[in-house]
Homo-oligomer: A and B are copies of this chain.
């Protein structure tokens, strides 16, 4: 009914793709809080599409574990418990460790230089102390994204980006989770890049695993405190 406005010339993508993107943002950014019941008719109206493309979008986000669906009952926004996040960090430890190893083997000199620039930018922002929390969260993700891409392992990249990182982002927004140990984290990032630059895959993996393992231990600490 609201279709004729944007006649598919700007976005050559399919309607379902656009809905996936918008719906995912609404979930990750918390516009649709965890546990929200999602009626198909309601959502279809919200995004101005029919139920067909909408259902397709729901399936995609379900496979990314952002939605939970029960046949004949309905769909709701996934509720991420701290326990789940700890499980995810175990997976991150394994996968990003391997990513760092392969990054040390496969990254180009230009990519490594880009990493150094990124770290310099982070350091500068930290000195200025302006909006530190926000930039540090985004910056941390930026760093990890780049190392993952640097592995040049398409399977690994897709797994981390499509299946893992959306949930990590959702959790961070949901709990307004500020970086818990910014200076130490930045120092660890630097050591990882040093190992990558030295083409020491084993060391890069070890350092990345310790880096993520420490973040997990912080979560486990918080979990113990919560009960």
Interface residues of A (CB under 8 A from B): 13-14, 17, 52, 55-56, 59-60, 63, 65, 71-72, 84, 87-88, 90-91, 93-95, 97-98, 102, 153-156, 158-159, 162-163
Contacts and interface: CB of A to CB of B under 8 A. Distances in A.
Contact of A155 (B14, B56, B84): B84
Contacts of A156: 87, 90-91
A154 B95 contact: no
A88 B155 contact: yes
A182 to B, nearest CB: 27
Closest 4 CB pairs of A and B: A94-B98, A87-B155, A94-B94, A63-B63
Given A56-B56, A59-B60, A95 B102 contact: no
A22 to B, nearest CB: 17
Contacts of A97: 94
A95 B92 CA distance: 9
Contacts of A71: 13-14, 17
B155 A159 contact: no
A93 B87 contact: no
Contacts of A59: 56, 59-60
26 contacts: A14-B72, A17-B71, A52-B52, A55-B56, A56-B56, A59-B60, A60-B63, A65-B158, A84-B155, A87-B153, A87-B155, A87-B156, A88-B155, A90-B98, A90-B102, A90-B153, A90-B156, A91-B95, A91-B98, A91-B153, A91-B159, A93-B98, A94-B97, A95-B95, A159-B159, A163-B163
A59 B72 CA distance: 19
A70 to B, nearest CB: 11
Contacts of A95: 91, 94-95
A94 to B, nearest CB: 4
Contacts of A91: 95, 98, 153, 155-156, 159
